[in-house]
Structures are given as structure tokens and as C-alpha cells.
Amino acid sequence: MSSPPPATLSTAAADVSHPAPDAPAGSTVLAAPPCVSLDPAAPAHQQPADTVSAPPPPSSTWVILGSIPRVSAAADGELPVGADLSVALAAPPRVAILTISPDVFPEPPTPRFFPFVLAADTSGLLLLQANLGIPMSREVVDRPHRQGLRWRDAASRYFVLNATTASAFHLPDPEEPILHQALLGLIASPRGDGHYMVAELQPLIGCDKATLLCFSSEVGEWVEKSVRYPLPPRPLAPICVFSHHGRLWWVDLTWGVITSDPFADEPVLGFIPFPAGKVLQCREAWGVADKYRYVGVSAGKLRFVDTYTAPRRGVPPKVSVWTLADPDSTEWTLEHEARFDDIWADESYKATGLSKKIPVLALIHPENPNVVYFFLEEHLFGVDVRDRKVVECEAYELVAPPSCFIANRFTRAWTLPRALSSVQPDRSSNT
């Protein structure tokens, strides 16, 4: 793939081994008591019922989860003994912070080697990459379409975290390696039995065939599924994968979205290009597309949010929200559009005290498609695009990166399972 890995920080970024922020003000820390790691053959619903702490009555059904967790041992008081993880839930626009144990990430995190949440599923499962440093070594590559030598100084481990039971399952290494973490996704079984599948799309540019490398928790092993690749020969710039409507959706913010059902015996790939005039040239917005564009689910439909303006004069900056009315459709409908000049002129924006600068696009509200969130000057604020008004604004805290490197890859809009929905004691806003 042509894009830089989404979980790579510049060495100029703040050292993520620095102490992480405390749980956000007004947050609720949830962690199950000691429990065993998930067995790939044992669905989540078979975990002991008494391993889950009963949460307060729900008032927030979703959170903004920081993609980079902190690493802390039980001895530090951050995790219950035996727990692999905990989540400090916070009402949006605050950021929820994930903490993982050294059993998941055994090294001190650095700007290059650190854990990273690749996907947050509504089932309560999280897909995490643990990118670890290793001594430099030479590796022989001998695959049907790729032969040669390469040098390696890093090794990635992948985990499925169960936030409800506070347990982590280390995915076994497949015989054929995972090639790009931004093409690796997680989806819960449509049967609702607690099983899941992790799948990576492995295209070969210039070929009409691709591979879905799939791990099924029900089977407990990796399998390869051959699929027809419907895209023309252009390198992908993948940024994330999420589940929706029983499928995985692979996002290239310069081009469009690929979708497929990895549970199918013979999966079929579909491709939904962005609206006319929104497809960028190959390598355009290289490495920065997720500062200006976002694809996610809101109110049960796929949404494409765009603030990108090609480098040219005379085009006023604006934000537009497009909707894919049906998962089987390929036509986007423009729902809302607003110029930043109009947003800045509103009293609600003036009340935030923020500068009149183009903000970094963060996400769309998963329940209200009118509301889009932005990063600016260490604040996260929500804008009702239809009304051109700021509806929420708070200072945010992330484990990493510093604000100068912020992009929407560093947060996940996570719709919580019922077991994790929690009352937030402080939902006040600065606006």
C-alpha cells in the first residue's frame, strides 16, 4: 500500500512514555474484576457473568475513544489485579482513555513503538496493534507474487480486547503475514453469539484478484479467501476499517470505500467512490487526508464528511456532510454544507474563545448526523452544520500525539454495548 501506516508518529511527537493524563474530569472508570483471557473458541457470552461490574444506568451511549492507550500495571493502581484493560469513560466531547496492562504491551511506549486501537466495535470488542521493537534482522520474503529480502526492526502483535470482561486475546500469527494494519478490521458475528472475525484486505495492485486474510474466533485459525478486486490499478491509501450493516468497510479518504462480508464463504467486494469532484488524485493530500476528511456511521447510515480544499485561491473553506442512503447504493447525497465564515460569525463560536482557523476534522456524531466534531487549539468542539452553531466544546486530553500532529486517526467514535453505557457525572460545556 502506498500510504504511511496510520499508527506511526513522527519522532518529533511527544514521547508517549511520558505519564498519561489522569482519567478525564467527570469520567467513570470501568474495569472488570480478574478474568481469563478470551479463548478464540469460546464466545464472549460464555465468560463468567460475575466478572462484569454492574454499570450505572446509561446516559451516554457512545464515547470518543483515544486510539493510543496508556500502559499501566495493576501495581500502579490503574488496573484491577488480573485485568488486561480498563476504560475511563467520559461524555463527549471529552475523550475516553483506554489503559492496557504490560501483558499486552510489555515495553515502555516510545514515539515509534506503541499500542494503537485499530477498530472499536459496538459489541464491546477492540482491535489493538502492539508494535514492538526488535533487534535488526534480515528476512527472506518468498510469496507467490513477492520475493526478496527485507530488513526488520519491528514486530507487530494483534489483540482482540473485550472491554466488557477486561480481557485480551492475543491473535495467533498467520502463516502469511499481515501486510498493512490500516486494512485490518474487526466485525462481530451477525448471529449475536459472541464470536467475531478479524480480516485484512490484501490487494495486489494491477491484479483483478485480492485476498481476504480472515481469523474466525469460532474456528480459531486464519484462512485465506480469494476475492475479485473491482478497483482500477491505483495504490490504496487506507486509513481505517469499521463494521456496519454486517460488513467491513475499508476507507481510502482520497478515493472511496470498499465493502465486503468476510463471513461469506465466497465474499464479494463492492466499491463506493466518493461523489463527483471529491475523488482526489493519487497521492494528493498524502499523509494528511484524515485532517480534512472522515467516513463513519451516524444514525445507521454511512456518512462522508469533507473539509478538504485543493490548493487554490478563491475557494472559501467549508464543511460538507454526504450520506449513503443504502449500504447497497453507490450514490452519495449532500445533506448539509456550511462555510466556516458563517460558523465563526455565530455567537456560539465566539463564546468558545477559539481562533478563526480551519480546524482538524475529528468525527461525526454517531447518532446525530447534523453534528460534526473538530480539533482546534487543544479543544474538541461539536458544530451543528445545519444550524452553523457550536453545540459542545471542551478541552481534550490524549495519551498521544501532541496537538500539532492531531488527526482523526487518533480517536474512534465508539458506540458502547449496553453493559458499558454509563452515567457521566459532569456533562457541562464551555459554550
Domain borders along the chain are 28-420
**pTM for this entry:** 0.85
Kind and range of the H or E run holding 374: strand 371-376
pLDDT at 137: 74
Going by C-alpha positions, the residue among 213, 186, 187 that lies closest to residue 200 is 213
Could you tell me which residues are beta bridge partners of residue 202?
211
pLDDT means over runs of 10, the chain (431 residues): 40 34 50 35 36 44 97 82 94 97 94 96 98 77 67 84 97 93 97 95 92 97 97 95 98 98 97 97 94 98 95 84 96 98 99 98 98 98 99 97 96 94 48 48
DSSP secondary structure of 113-180: S-EEEEEE-TTSEEEEEEEEEEEEEEEEEEETTEEEEEEEEEEEEEEEEETTTTEEEEPPPPSSPP--
What's the CA gap between 153 and 132, in Å, rounded?
9
Going by C-alpha positions, the residue among 356, 195, 171 that lies closest to residue 263 is 195
pLDDT at 37: 31
pLDDT at 53: 38
What's the CA gap between 53 and 56, in Å, rounded?
10
What's the CA gap between 370 and 319, in Å, rounded?
11
Enter the CATH code of domain 28-420: 2.130.10
pLDDT at 313: 62
pLDDT at 58: 40
pLDDT at 48: 33
Name 344's Cβ contacts closer than 8 Å, sequence gap at least 6. Answer: 350, 356
Looking at residue 426, its amino acid is: D
pLDDT at 401: 94
Going by C-alpha positions, the residue among 309, 397, 319, 317 that lies closest to residue 357 is 317
pLDDT at 116: 98
Name 368's Cβ contacts closer than 8 Å, sequence gap at least 6. Answer: 298, 299
What's the CA gap between 13 and 403, in Å, rounded?
9
